[in-house]
């Protein structure tokens, strides 16, 4: 385990040395809590931020508060552009994302992708907590590669970690985590688009469960061209 931890810290240090300024996009999931702990523990010069979509579960806000109380590394929170949200709701309805994949991706664009672009602006690299075995859409990821969609280097230091590794680290280091994980929510996101799974089900089965597995990304980790669906107006 220590070897795996050392490798992650080495990747994070490489990111800081070669690509400063670097930021870490935390969704406050279990993997992201491991990285938050390591970044804070080693005093790495990496900006920590989260996106508040406006539709997060209460448990996620509780964790956000716990992170700011536990760590000296500040957690910066980005919110969606209010005009874009108002435009989306006017055209699609407040829960329009259940209607079609296109409408769902449009909501994810407004509430996640656009704020992410602002968060990444001016950075040379970003770090994520993606793991390879989380979804069929993540099979070809690399630990470090150029992210052409956002125009900066992307680091996935936990790529080869297992679910078990993540939870071993959290338990061993008493890292705060989202209490919804204790209620069989392995993958967390917005409240209306996340549900619990039954033992043995795919870990992404609780996200956008009404869609085909191939479409299950929010646009943060796939081409923004795909994510930018209809029904979004910047005006
Ligand atoms: S996960 Fe659901 S509520 Fe959240 S931004 Fe995407 S479609 Fe909208």
Domain harbouring 14, CATH code = 3.40.50.620
- In this predicted structure, which of 52-56, 99-103, 210-214 has the lowest mean pLDDT? 210-214
Among 52, 55, 102, 115, the mutation site with the greatest number of ligand 1 atoms within 8 A of its Cβ is 55
Residue nearest to atom 2 of ligand 1 (CA): 193
Q: In this model, does residue 235 exceed pLDDT 50? A: no
Any domain includes 48: yes
Q: How confident is the model at residue 210 (pLDDT cuts 50, 70, 90)?
A: confident
Any domain includes 53: yes
Q: Indicate if ligand 1 lies below 6 Å from the C-beta of 104.
A: yes
Decide: 227 and 108 in contact? Cβ < 8 Å: yes
For the chain, state the CA radius of gyration.
17
Give me the number of domains the chain comprises: 1
Angstrom distance (rounded) from CA 106 to CA 15 = 31
Q: What is the mean predicted confidence (pLDDT) over 205-219?
A: 69
Ligand 1: nearest atom to the Cα of 110: 5
How confident is the model over 120-152, as pLDDT tens digits? 999 999 999 999 887 666 667 899 999 998 999
Q: Indicate if ligand 1 lies below 6 Å from the C-beta of 44.
A: no
- In this predicted structure, which of 12-16, 116-120, 169-173, 215-219 has the lowest mean pLDDT? 215-219
Any domain includes 113: yes
What local confidence, expressed as pLDDT, does residue 137 receive?
Answer: 60
Any domain includes 234: no
Any domain includes 122: yes
218 a catalytic residue: yes
Any domain includes 232: no
Any domain includes 25: yes
Q: Indicate if ligand 1 lies below 6 Å from the C-beta of 113.
A: no
The 3-state secondary structure of the chain reads CHHHHHHHHHHHHHHHHHHCCEEEECCCCHHHHHHHHHHHHCCCCEEEEEECCCCCCHHHHHHHHHHHHHCCCCEEEECCCHHHHHHHHHHHCCCHHHCCHHHHHHHHHHHHHHHHHHHHCCCCEEECCCCHHHCHHHCCCCCEEEECCCCEEEECCCCCCCHHHHHHHHHHHCCCCCHHHHHCCCCCCCHHHECCCCCCCCCCCCECCCCCHHHCCCCCCCCHHHHCCCCCCCC
- Highest-pLDDT range among 13-27, 122-136, 208-222: 13-27
How confident is the model over 66-100, as pLDDT tens digits? 999 999 999 999 999 999 999 999 999 999 999 99
Phi, psi of 222 (to 5 degrees): -135, 175
What local confidence, expressed as pLDDT, does residue 26 receive?
Answer: 95
Ligand 1: nearest atom to the Cα of 193: 2
Residues of the domain holding 66: 2-227
Q: How far is the CA of 137 from the centre of ligand 1 (A)?
A: 18
Any domain includes 15: yes
Q: Which residue has the higher pLDDT, 235 or 54?
A: 54
Q: How far is the CA of 213 from the centre of ligand 1 (A)?
A: 16
What local confidence, expressed as pLDDT, does residue 226 receive?
Answer: 34
């Amino acid at each position: 385990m220590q070897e795996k931890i050392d490798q992650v810290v080495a990747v994070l240090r490489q990111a800081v040395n070669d690509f400063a300024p670097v930021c870490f996009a935390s969704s406050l999931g279990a993997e992201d809590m491991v990285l938050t702990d390591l970044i804070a523990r080693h005093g790495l010069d990496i900006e920590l931020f989260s996106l508040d979509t406006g539709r997060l579960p209460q448990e996620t806000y509780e964790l956000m508060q716990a992170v700011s109380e536990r760590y000296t590394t500040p957690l910066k929170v980005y919110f969606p552009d209010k005009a874009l949200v108002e435009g989306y709701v006017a055209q699609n309805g407040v829960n329009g994302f259940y209607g079609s994949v296109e409408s769902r991706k449009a909501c994810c664009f407004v509430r996640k992708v656009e704020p992410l672009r602002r968060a990444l602006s001016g950075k040379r690299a970003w770090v994520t907590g993606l793991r390879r075995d989380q979804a069929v859409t993540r099979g070809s990821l690399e630990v470090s590669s150029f992210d052409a969609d956002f125009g900066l280097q992307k680091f996935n230091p936990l790529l080869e970690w297992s679910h078990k590794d993540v939870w071993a680290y959290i338990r061993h280091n008493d890292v705060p985590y989202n209490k919804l994980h204790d209620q069989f929510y392995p993958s967390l996101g917005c409240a209306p688009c996340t549900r619990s799974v039954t033992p043995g089900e795919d870990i992404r089965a609780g996200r956008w469960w009404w869609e085909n597995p191939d479409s299950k990304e929010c646009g943060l980790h796939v081409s923004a061209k795909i994510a930018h669906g209809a029904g979004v107006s910047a005006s």
